[in-house]
A = this chain, B = another copy of it.
Amino acid sequence: MIVKKFLCAPGPTAVPAEILNEMAKPLIHHRTPQFDAIIAENAQLLKQVFKTQNPVVTFTSSGTGAMEASITNFLSKGDKAIVVSAGKFGERFAEIGTAYGVEVIELKAEYGKDVKPAAVAEALKANPGVKAVYSEYSETSTAVAFDIKGIAEVVRKTDAIFVVDAITAAGCMELEMDAWGIDVAVAGSQKSFMIPPGLAFLAASEKARKMMETSNLPKYYFDLAGEIKSNEKNTTSWTPAVTIIIGLNMALKMMVSEGIDNVIKRHYIIAEAIRVGVQAIGLKLFADVPNVRPSDAVTAVRVPDGVEGKKIPDIMQNKYGVTIAGGQGSMAGKIFRLGSLGYMDKTDVIIQLQAMEFTLKDLGFQFESGKSVAAAQKFLLDNIKL
């Protein structure tokens, strides 16, 4: 039998065929009125995703590049910064800060947990002079969602800026940059934006841009002041990833036409259906924060006892055609992660759960066949207006 392939990872995510075709058109030059118009339109459409009036720049890089930019453009050597961290990507903020000579104060929680706004408030009090607080929104490695609105409320009362890694959260979970008082938010193309990896986005508030003026950490490729100036002239500082920017334009129009709030709601329904499905056969979520909804980008599932966890993503992909993600680093073999990010609808819930069921049966896990799919389907029927 043929095995159809489905990409259901928390990034890179599947790209709609019409966007792939748009990007496959003959290349255009990046210093032309035609391309300038795309840059200008993208800048406006990105603001709608971030819910901000602040400039949102686009770097040709992976999301990590924008994370680096969110440190080097605002801080100075020896500045103190609090990094809220309970997973691989929070740790990355700390690593970048350290590499650039920032004094990093890590506010750590166990993987699977979050860090509460009250803890951030305490840390800010205990460490006067902190210039910035860095946090994940959706920590992709654990599928935990941090209380970004709550932390923003704490940080905005201080002189520190609040920097959010929204790489898997932007266009996926509620994100009110201006209303909540987030100063810097970063995101990446291969997530809810439904396009290939290669672009990273960064939005900066006035408070952050003020800090940019005195920042003395070295930067050149990721120089935000230069990029904002270039963007004001509807261009980019360096030769950008032209095809992906063209794909972004089409993707943003699709998102805005669906309605950003509807896009967010769709992500919730897909993710919740997956959560309902996996729990219906006795599996446990890895995200373990009472009364807080996990990330809607990805669902981390604990590998049940007696099952060889590392084999789950391999079998799902190679035997059943469905690419999901395993656990990263120390999490390898302990969790597997089902995606709900980007170009996804109810079908992708069923596709992942059926492949997961086949795989778990192969690995000897005991459960009633079809139960996770049925539970998810029931939830979808109740929650989607078809």
A258 at the interface (CB under 8 A from B): no
Pick from B60, B65, B237: contact of A198, CB under 8 Å = B60
Q: Is the CB of A99 within 8 A of B220?
A: yes
Pick from B61, B217, B242: contact of A60, CB under 8 Å = B61
A69 shortest CB reach to chain B, Å: 9
Specify which chain B residues have a CB less than 8 angstroms from the CB of A100 in the assembled complex. Answer: 218, 220
A76 shortest CB reach to chain B, Å: 13
A219 at the interface (CB under 8 A from B): yes
Interface centre among A60, A239, A317 (most CB of B within 10 A): A239
Pick from B12, B25, B61: contact of A61, CB under 8 Å = B61
* Count of residues in A whose CB is under 8 Å from the partner chain: 56
Shortest Cβ distance from A343 into B: residue: B27
Can you report 23 residue pairs joining A to B where beta carbons are below 8 Å apart?
A7-B27, A7-B28, A7-B29, A12-B242, A29-B323, A32-B317, A60-B60, A60-B62, A61-B61, A61-B65, A63-B238, A63-B239, A64-B221, A64-B238, A68-B220, A96-B220, A99-B218, A99-B223, A196-B241, A198-B242, A217-B218, A218-B218, A243-B244
Q: Which residues of A contact B (CB under 8 A)?
A: 5, 7, 9, 11-15, 17, 20-21, 23-32, 60-65, 68, 95-96, 99-101, 188, 190, 196-198, 217-223, 237-244, 317, 323, 325
